[in-house]
Amino acid sequence: MKITKKQDNNLLTLFTATVWSTRKFDKEFQNTKAVKLPRVIYVLIVIFCSLISVFSLVSPGDSIRQSWETTVSILQLFTFLFFLFDYISHLLTYRKYTEKDTKTPVWKSTLKYIFSWNGIVILICILSSLHTIEILRSEIATNSEFQRTINIFKVLNIFRFIRLFIVLTFFAPFKIIIDVFSKQKKVLSYVLLLVLLVIIIFAILIWNNETIYLENEQKTFINKVFFLDPNNPKKGFVEGYQPENWKIFATYSTLENQVDKDAFIANNNINKDLINIFNNGQNKFILSEYNALSSGYVQNFVDALYFSTITLTTIGYGDFLPHAPLTKIIVSINAIIALAIIAIPSGVIAGAFLNQMQAHIDKKSKKKQEKESKNKEVKND
């Protein structure tokens, strides 16, 4: 049976509508159910493959452990093959989906898809499943160096959830959310820029104040332990017990192996006799109390960024607390600013989402009424 050009075009259109989970080609088909069924099936497969990595986190009982691990391995292999098929299918149908002019070179449209957001996400989904090929080749499974290399890609599993969210735009509520962000991107971009600027500024202020305050607290603690006169730091000190030496030993004590410890001593020109002073039982107990002082303090810029962010979003988990009086004032100002900044995008998104949802409901109601009126006219005839 010979396939005509029109039929061939219809097959390509159907395949494109299925792979891209789009309704833009529905008008080209008289029977829309023929388009909907494969599209829904494809969407469900993508959802299943995107969530398959969660199954590997499940720890079953010993009785079914082996069969469970075998099943998960087979499913992960299927996921790898499906994402590979998904990528190639998108690549082949990109020109049809974007309705590019036939004069546009194929290589240009191909490159455009490869470097598009959708193309990058699906490619990373393939890479995150790359470790499953060890099931096919036993020599790969025994090659520890190759295993370490491909296991690095496991961290990219997060992109499967991005792929999941992309395909969920097939459903109206998710599509409306994407449309809202697309239409309000200018306002949201300005707000995001302002938020990032505020977070960085407050992080620097918090980090600076907390670091200085902690150093003063540690010095005060050492002075109290050895009954030192804070006005005369050298008075009463046993050789080597200066506060700065406690800080060095606190860092030294966190090192796990002797090689790292020797390297630390060499790099900082530390006398080994000084280390021996701190290694007795009493000083180790004092050291534990000394280290406990830093609990809950922001001690580096990354922690400061995290603390500034959770304060700005008015969440707060209690793992970091402001200790310096000035830091408490800064954090309070940060929280007050957050009430104004966070309210802007929340209001914009919520308002636009409700408007879009109402428009979608009205559109569906209008279509339903038109269909009912047509059915009545047919019955009357």
Residue 176: band (very low, low, confident or very high) from pLDDT cuts 50, 70, 90: confident
Residues 243, 248: Cα–Cα separation, whole Å: 9
Does the pLDDT of residue 123 top 60, yes or no?
Answer: yes
Whether 204 and 88 share a structural domain: no
300 versus 7: which is more confidently predicted?
300
Mean pLDDT across the chain, nearest whole number?
78
Range of the domain at 13: 5-170
Taking residues 299-303, report their average pLDDT. Answer: 91
Whether 148 and 40 share a structural domain: yes
| pLDDT tens sequence across 48-89 | 988 887 776 677 777 787 888 788 888 888 888 999 999 999
The alpha helices in the chain, defined as continuous H runs, are 5-19, 33-55, 65-98, 106-114, 117-128, 138-142, 144-151, 158-168, 172-183, 185-225, 243-253, 258-267, 272-278, 281-292, 301-312, 325-380
**Total domain count, the chain:** 2
Whether 208 and 130 share a structural domain: no
Whether 71 and 220 share a structural domain: no
322 by Cβ neighbours in 10 Å (0-12 / 13-18 / 19+) ranks as buried
8 versus 1: which is more confidently predicted?
8
* Of the listed ranges 49-58, 74-83, 171-180, 210-219, the one predicted with least confidence: 49-58
What pLDDT is stored for residue 239 in this prediction?
A: 46
Question: Cα torsion at 347, 349, 352, 354 (round to 10°)?
Answer: -80
What pLDDT is stored for residue 284 in this prediction?
A: 64
**CATH number of the domain that residue 229 is part of:** 1.10.287.70
User: Does residue 278 lie within any of the structural domains?
Assistant: no
203 versus 172: which is more confidently predicted?
203
User: Does residue 357 lie within any of the structural domains?
Assistant: no
